[in-house]
């Protein structure tokens, strides 16, 4: 592995394995892009695409290389977890590959360590051209997304446990946050399918069909990630429906208790009001122990109402 420094503040990492070269640039400057453009014969239009982030994901086939731009979702694991989209531009030639990005991307960093160790020890046969480096690189990125989705799945299992532990209200917010992350992750990957199909066509032309199997493998890795994301969304929908049912059941139970209390309390309050009416003749009122007689009568009446409700299975 060899690392080249073009100025005091920016760095281009160059990794070599036999006759193959991988150049990785983070937040490229015009000078850095100009140098790799001259060294590897990059077309000015492709070089221009390396300088600034772009909303467009695409594949362009040139005479000496394939230009590919993809956006990958990255989940920030924190108390304000969210998904961000990070662009990676690839220029894939016969014996070189150039990657540019505008932020640190963990899967690429991890792949560089593996690539460096294997290059130093000469333990693995990467392949005959730079397309194989891209193949292993993109597989590492997609498999990291599988790990991210596994993390989300663990969160859903924790939500399910809490949901059946009486924390339905708190789980409404928790489910909304996880749903947001999966939707954003899936949204960042939506265009990959079309771009990878275009890449298969460009690769068949550029590598004379000998690389088709590997390009199809990349598409398969993407489909695997997309399928897991769809499954997670389906689980979220089911958990949300279950949580809503639990919330509704709990609210109905509360309303039922309130209704029963009102059913018992209203007749008692009416009877109490009757004894407060200033009339010439009021039964019981004025007799010895009249308060206790009235109170006992009300308690007995309340008990009878309660037993009536139980017999009707309204409680």
pLDDT in tens, 202-219: 998 998 777 889 999 999
| Cβ contacts of 37 within 8 Å, gap of 6 or more | 44, 47
Say yes or no to pLDDT of 307 above 90. Answer: no
- For the ranges 74-83, 151-160, 234-243, 292-301, the lowest mean pLDDT is seen at 74-83
This prediction's pTM? 0.75
- pLDDT in the model for residue 195: 94
Say yes or no to pLDDT of 237 above 70. Answer: yes
User: Could you give the CA distance from residue 24 to residue 47 in angstroms, rounded to a whole number?
Assistant: 14
pLDDT band at 190 (very low <50, low <70, confident <90, very high): confident
| Best CATH choice for the domain 2-248 from the list 3.30.420.40, 3.30.460.20, 3.60.150.10, 3.40.630.40 | 3.30.460.20
From-to residues of CATH 3.30.460.20 in the chain:
2-248
pLDDT band at 121 (very low <50, low <70, confident <90, very high): very low
User: Could you give the CA distance from residue 116 to residue 131 in angstroms, rounded to a whole number?
Assistant: 17
């Amino acid at each position: 592995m060899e690392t080249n420094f073009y100025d005091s503040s920016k760095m281009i990492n160059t990794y070599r394995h036999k006759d193959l070269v991988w150049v990785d640039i983070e937040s490229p400057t015009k000078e850095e892009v100009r140098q790799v453009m001259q060294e590897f014969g990059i077309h000015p239009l492709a070089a221009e695409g390396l300088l600034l982030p772009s909303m467009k994901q695409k594949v362009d086939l040139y005479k000496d290389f394939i230009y590919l731009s993809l956006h990958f979702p990255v989940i920030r694991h924190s108390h304000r977890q969210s998904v961000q989209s990070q662009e990676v531009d690839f220029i894939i030639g016969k014996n070189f590959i150039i990657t540019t990005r505008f932020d640190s991307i963990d899967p690429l960093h991890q792949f560089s360590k593996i690539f460096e160790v294997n290059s130093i020890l000469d333990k693995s046969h990467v392949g005959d051209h730079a397309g194989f480096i891209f193949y292993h690189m993109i597989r590492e990125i997609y498999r990291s997304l599988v790990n991210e989705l596994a993390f989300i799945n663990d969160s859903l299992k924790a939500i399910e446990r809490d949901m059946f532990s009486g924390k339905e209200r708190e789980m409404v917010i928790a489910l909304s946050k996880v749903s947001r992350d999966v939707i954003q992750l899936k949204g960042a990957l939506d265009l990959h399918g079309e771009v990878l199909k275009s890449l298969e066509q460009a690769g068949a032309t550029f590598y004379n069909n000998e690389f088709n199997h590997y390009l199809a493998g990349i598409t398969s890795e993407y489909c695997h990630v997309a399928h897991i994301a769809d499954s997670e969304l389906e689980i979220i929908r089911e958990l949300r429906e279950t949580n809503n049912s639990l919330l509704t059941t709990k609210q109905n139970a509360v309303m039922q208790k309130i209704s029963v209390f009102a059913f018992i309390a209203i007749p008692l309050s009416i009877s109490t009001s009757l004894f407060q009416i200033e009339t010439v003749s009021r039964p019981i009122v004025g007799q010895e122990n009249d308060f206790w007689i009235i109170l006992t009568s009300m308690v007995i009446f309340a008990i009878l109402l309660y037993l009536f409700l139980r017999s009707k299975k309204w409680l």
